[in-house]
Amino acid sequence: ETPDFISTALRSSDAANWRIVPRKNPASDYPSDFEVVQIRQATRNSLFTLQDHPYIKRVTPQRKVFRSLKFTDGEYPRAPCNDGRWTQKWQSWQSSRPLRRTSLSLGSGFWHATGRHSSRRLLRAIPRHVAQILQADVLWQMGHTGSGVKVAVFDTGLSEKHPHFKNVKERTNWTNEKTLDDGLGHGTFVAGVIASMRECQGFAPDSELHIFRVFTNNQVSYTSWFLDAFNYAILKKIDVLNLSIGGPDFMDHPFVDKVWELTANRVIMVSAIGNDGPLYGTLNNPADQMDVIGVGGIDFEDNIARFSSRGMTTWELPGGYGRVKPDIVTYGSGVRGSGMKEGCRSLSGTSVASPVVAGAVTLLASTVQNRELVNPASMKQALIASARRLPGVNMFEQGHGKLDLLKAYQILNSYHPQASLSPSYIDLTECPYMWPYCSQPIYYGGMPTIVNVTILNGMGVTGRIVDKPIWQPYLPQNGDHIDVAISYSPVLWPWAGYLAVSISVAKKAASWEGIAQGHVMVTVASPAQNDAGGELTSTVKLPVKVKIIPTPPRSKRVLWDQYHNLRYPPGYFPRDNLRMKNDPLDWNGDHIHTNFRDMYQHLRSMGYFVEVLGAPITCFDASQYGTLLMVDSEEEYFPEEVTKLRRDIDNGLSLIIFSDWYNTSVMRKVKFYDENTRQWWMPDTGGANVPALNDLISVWGMAFSDGLYEGDFTMADHDMYYASGCSIARFPEDGIVIGQALKDQGLEVLKQETMVVDNVPILGLYQTPSEGAGRIALYGDSNCIDDSHRQKDCFWLLDALLQYTSYSMMPSSLTHSKSRVPPPTATDHPLPQRLEGNHLYRYSKVLESHLGDHKPRPLPACPHLSWAKPQPLNETAPSNLWKHQKLLSVDLDKVVLPNARSYRPQVRPLSPGESEAWDIPGGIMPGRYNQEVGQTIPVFAFLGAMVVLSFFVVQLTKAKSKPKRRKPRVKRPLYLQQQQQQQQQQQAPHAGRTPTV
């Protein structure tokens, strides 16, 4: 017993006054070898005795830890409750496209939030001077204050005589509002974080500020304004440009091209990664571009902020794999910056984190003697090489880690032009940093694992890869057990390019288990700046480490169909849950590592191996897989795919389809006028492409309907929510079909009527008849396995379906369910037809337009990887790949910092005069601009009406209390009756009121 030897130990010293502090928490139910001992006197001696005792490992002084609550905000628009009142709001669909470029910090709610959240004030970490926390003062003391660096702030403007700024070189307006001033406070705040010189200090007070007003006070902005403003920024030779804005449309080519043009002109672009977290696949453009520094947000306790958008990039889907973004993270929650007119306020959002980095970059640029060396690539290299990795957070959340200003200073000041890689190594075993790679080992026969590495080239705006990248397996470390194929940008421009490494297991390791290592060697060349014809070259190594396991059995392997998932951009593919009116587009990529991440994690925890098919169905070996999983597919199918799938299922492959709604009337209803592109947007499919799916499954006598259903129900003791799904219209007679009572949402959307339909067939299970053939499971709604807007998950159902498809084990909870209904065979109900005049062919990989008719294209060839010829090495890799992969030949010791102190916590007390200037962070709204335009009008109107109404109510109550001058008049019996009735019905306010007629 612990207390016994503690008392023996203490008896030998002269401590008399001590006690063991009892544990009064739930953990005390469990045994522990840990005790808290309180000693009142002779502490030193008794401590030594305790430490010397053979049974006591360690004695540490007790510290009490106080932490603030980390709940972000109650007003995060999670699932709305089913209050039945929403039906009237369908009209607001027409408003406009919320997914335009938005400024990334604020919903309007924030700016009006004064005191609404006062109760939360004490719980929050006290906002601190972000420049001092990042130790900018060390660089200030060395005389670097950002002088000579031109910073552009693209935002909502800045008022002329703001007391915080001393070097505003120019203010320009690119909007249609005739003002240069900031009417929102966003632009002022951002400019303040970069360059404020008093109160809440910015990073680079002496930098030359160029204010570009590209957002109106209504937060409107257009691509064309940006194009002209960017041109001006190039003309003015801006060095650093902060864009605290973003939007999901990475296919806005004029904008994306213009951002490339800017960085090609040596403008260092810093941009906010987006406020759409914690959902994955929510990166915003332009921060998701390789040449831009994309910044995510953390709080002052180094947790990734909930709002910060998560990777991966979705440009590369379905054939490739996303890049790692954000690049770095920094403080973006409760940061203090300049208030709109004066004073300071605190604000949250990635649009706060972005100017923190932009300010740091400005300050860093001013420390470099030879400014020629500072370019978008070298700055980004310095930032990511110096970033401090946060423990327990994966790379799609934190990028390379947290900004470390002083280390970046050291690196930048000993920098010489070179190429580097991001990520700088591939360790598929390292968890959690290398999630999702580390979550599933690779095996022979699996789809190649693709790692999309970004090459940063600090040597010049344009570069190329010399010869070919070389794959060098380490023979002592089983490097020959893997095959590697490499594809890369033909030209690295501007400053960057990709290097996609596909890793596959060699045949000889089909039943081998272990770790294999090697590296890829890349040489990058750029034209030299200072002598004609010469070239600068730089060689980088990309270490590779993978875990190989024997190929799992077929039944354990699930194939996710990515090829048939389409998304915004470019087309209007509507949400799968029609209630989510503020987020009408399906834009997260529908990948197992973006918005189906939870489902993927669940399947992994259940022991399934999930692979992704980024090519047509004709391109995989079905004998390897137990189940093909098709969720929320929007794409059409090649006739060859239909035939092949049928053959595969006859040969034992099983199929699970999670469909979604498709109703042409509803699709017409959810069209809207997009103010960003100034045209009407009509969806090209429903939630899923049901007519195409019906073509695929019709051979088995199955079809989905164009019904649109919604509602809560219980299935096999699980609470379920059906969020805008379709029903099963046809199913083979010997199949099992489950029906539920659901609301007809189509009727609700179209006519605002509520009707409950009984026995809507939503789930079907079917064993195809031939010998050894596979099974098919259909479910009408995908929302319950999708992370975006999910209310109740149905992973249990997916498990049950996989049990059925993979092992032919019929889930008894479903077969014996009371909800079983006879399979629908009704031919009276017509199947859904494709919406006439839809433009799916514009975005489809399958369809093309032939004189107004849409026909399938010829089937494309399956992707073919050419494996790199290995050049085996007889060496071993260092055990820690990360530490060894920093920038090449940077001598950190050369750059010494004066009194470079380690982290000093600086909790700055509130000075009395300042306090009222503080604003309370009202939490982050996913701040969608259009939402506001769409809804501010009714809000205004409603407020106005409320004011008027309350005025009258006050009048009425006054009238009641005041003795009224009565005019003599004859009361008519009719009137009396009326009045009496009134009195009976509503006793309180109107009682006793006499009308003054």
Nearest Cα neighbor of 557 from 638, 620, 477 is: 620
Q: Is residue 530 near other proteins by the rule CB under 8 A?
A: yes
Position among 36, 769, 944, 986 found at the interface with other proteins (CB under 8 A): 944
Task: Single out the catalytic residue among 73, 95, 103, 155.
Answer: 155
Q: Helices in 808-928 by DSSP H: which ranges?
A: 812-815, 840-843, 881-884
Position among 16, 956, 976, 991 found at the interface with other proteins (CB under 8 A): 956
Q: Contact region for other proteins (CB under 8 A) — 141-149, 213-221, 300-308, 378-386?
A: 213-221
Q: How far apart are CA 790 and CA 797, in angstroms?
A: 15
Task: State yes or no: is 351 an active-site residue.
Answer: yes
Q: How far apart are CA 682 and CA 666, in angstroms?
A: 11
Position among 232, 512, 795, 867 found at the interface with other proteins (CB under 8 A): 232
Residue 224 has φ and ψ, to the nearest 5°, of: -65, -35
Position among 2, 167, 462, 759 found at the interface with other proteins (CB under 8 A): 462
Q: What is the DSSP letter of 247?
A: B
Nearest Cα neighbor of 881 from 458, 295, 477, 468 is: 477
* Nearest-approach distance from CB 227 to other proteins, in angstroms: 5
Q: Contact region for other proteins (CB under 8 A) — 105-113, 248-256, 288-296, 607-615?
A: 248-256
Q: Is residue 494 near other proteins by the rule CB under 8 A?
A: yes
Q: Is residue 173 near other proteins by the rule CB under 8 A?
A: yes
Pairing of strands 208-213, 168-173: parallel
Task: State yes or no: is 961 an active-site residue.
Answer: no
Per-position DSSP letters for 390-436, written without gaps between them: PTT--HHHHTT-B--HHHHHHHHTT----EEEESS-EETT-TTTTTT
**CB-wise, 538 or 577, nearer to other proteins?**
538
Q: Is residue 952 near other proteins by the rule CB under 8 A?
A: yes
Q: Is residue 174 near other proteins by the rule CB under 8 A?
A: yes
How far is residue 161 from each of residues 152, 171, 182, 342, 345, measured CA to CA in Å?
18, 12, 11, 10, 18
Longest dimension (CA), the chain: 114
* Nearest-approach distance from CB 229 to other proteins, in angstroms: 9
Q: How far apart are CA 164 and CA 179, in angstroms?
A: 20
Q: Is residue 36 near other proteins by the rule CB under 8 A?
A: no
Task: Single out the catalytic residue among 13, 333, 348, 351.
Answer: 351
| Under 8 Å between Cβ of 502 and 493 | no
Q: Is residue 861 near other proteins by the rule CB under 8 A?
A: no
Position among 266, 400, 730, 775 found at the interface with other proteins (CB under 8 A): 266
Q: Contact region for other proteins (CB under 8 A) — 545-553, 624-632, 903-911, 949-957?
A: 949-957
Nearest Cα neighbor of 169 from 185, 148, 155, 186 is: 148
Q: Is residue 224 near other proteins by the rule CB under 8 A?
A: yes
Q: How far apart are CA 162 and CA 710, in angstroms?
A: 53
Q: How far apart are CA 939 and CA 218, in angstroms?
A: 14
Position among 468, 822, 942, 957 found at the interface with other proteins (CB under 8 A): 942
Give, as ranges, the residues between 795 and 854 that touch other proteins (CB under 8 A). Answer: 842
Burial 470-509 (b: 16+ CB within 10 A, else e): bbbbbbebbbbbbbbbbbbbeebbbbbbbbbbbbbbbeeb
Q: Is residue 663 near other proteins by the rule CB under 8 A?
A: no
Position among 218, 414, 429, 664 found at the interface with other proteins (CB under 8 A): 218
Q: How far apart are CA 177 and CA 197, in angstroms?
A: 29
**CB-wise, 174 or 609, nearer to other proteins?**
174
Q: How far apart are CA 234 and CA 253, in angstroms?
A: 18
Position among 880, 938, 964, 983 found at the interface with other proteins (CB under 8 A): 938
Q: Is residue 949 near other proteins by the rule CB under 8 A?
A: yes
Show the tokens assigned to 917.
Answer: 């200037």
**CB-wise, 285 or 595, nearer to other proteins?**
285
Q: Contact region for other proteins (CB under 8 A) — 264-272, 594-602, 645-653, 657-665?
A: 264-272
Q: Is residue 933 near other proteins by the rule CB under 8 A?
A: yes
Residue 942 is which amino acid? Answer: F
Question: Total residues at the site for other proteins (CB under 8 A)?
Answer: 65
Q: Is residue 991 near other proteins by the rule CB under 8 A?
A: no
Q: What count of residues does the chain have?
A: 997
**CB-wise, 63 or 678, nearer to other proteins?**
678
Secondary structure percentages of the chain, helix, strand, coil, to 5: 30, 20, 50
* Nearest-approach distance from CB 792 to other proteins, in angstroms: 36
Task: State yes or no: is 308 an active-site residue.
Answer: no
HEC-encoded secondary structure of 565-614: CCCCCCCCCECCCCCCCCCCECCCCCCCCCCCHHHHHHHHHCCCEEEEEC
Position among 137, 228, 316, 712 found at the interface with other proteins (CB under 8 A): 228
Q: How far apart are CA 481 and CA 506, in angstroms?
A: 5
Q: Is residue 976 near other proteins by the rule CB under 8 A?
A: no
* Nearest-approach distance from CB 411 to other proteins, in angstroms: 25
Q: Which residue has the tokens 């430490």?
A: 51
* Nearest-approach distance from CB 97 to other proteins, in angstroms: 11
**CB-wise, 250 or 804, nearer to other proteins?**
250
Query: Rounded to the nearest 5 degrees, what angle is found at the Cα of 988, between the Cα atoms of 982 and 993?
Result: 60
Position among 52, 160, 257, 621 found at the interface with other proteins (CB under 8 A): 257
Question: How many angstroms separate the first and last alpha carbons of the chain?
Answer: 91
- Residues pairing with 821 in the sheet: 737
Q: Is residue 466 near other proteins by the rule CB under 8 A?
A: no
**CB-wise, 861 or 959, nearer to other proteins?**
959
Position among 678, 894, 904, 966 found at the interface with other proteins (CB under 8 A): 678
Q: Is residue 537 near other proteins by the rule CB under 8 A?
A: no
Q: Is residue 5 near other proteins by the rule CB under 8 A?
A: no
Burial 589-615 (b: 16+ CB within 10 A, else e): bbbbbbbbbbbbbbbeeeebbbbbbbb
Task: Single out the catalytic residue among 129, 186, 400, 519.
Answer: 186
| Under 8 Å between Cβ of 682 and 671 | yes
Q: Is residue 227 near other proteins by the rule CB under 8 A?
A: yes
Q: Is residue 995 near other proteins by the rule CB under 8 A?
A: yes
Active site residues: 155, 186, 351
Contact residues for other proteins (CB under 8 A)? 172-174, 176-177, 216, 218, 220, 222-225, 227-228, 231-232, 234-236, 249, 251-255, 257-258, 261, 264-266, 461-462, 491, 493-494, 527, 530-533, 675-679, 842, 933, 936-938, 940-942, 944-945, 948-949, 951-952, 955-956, 959, 995, 997
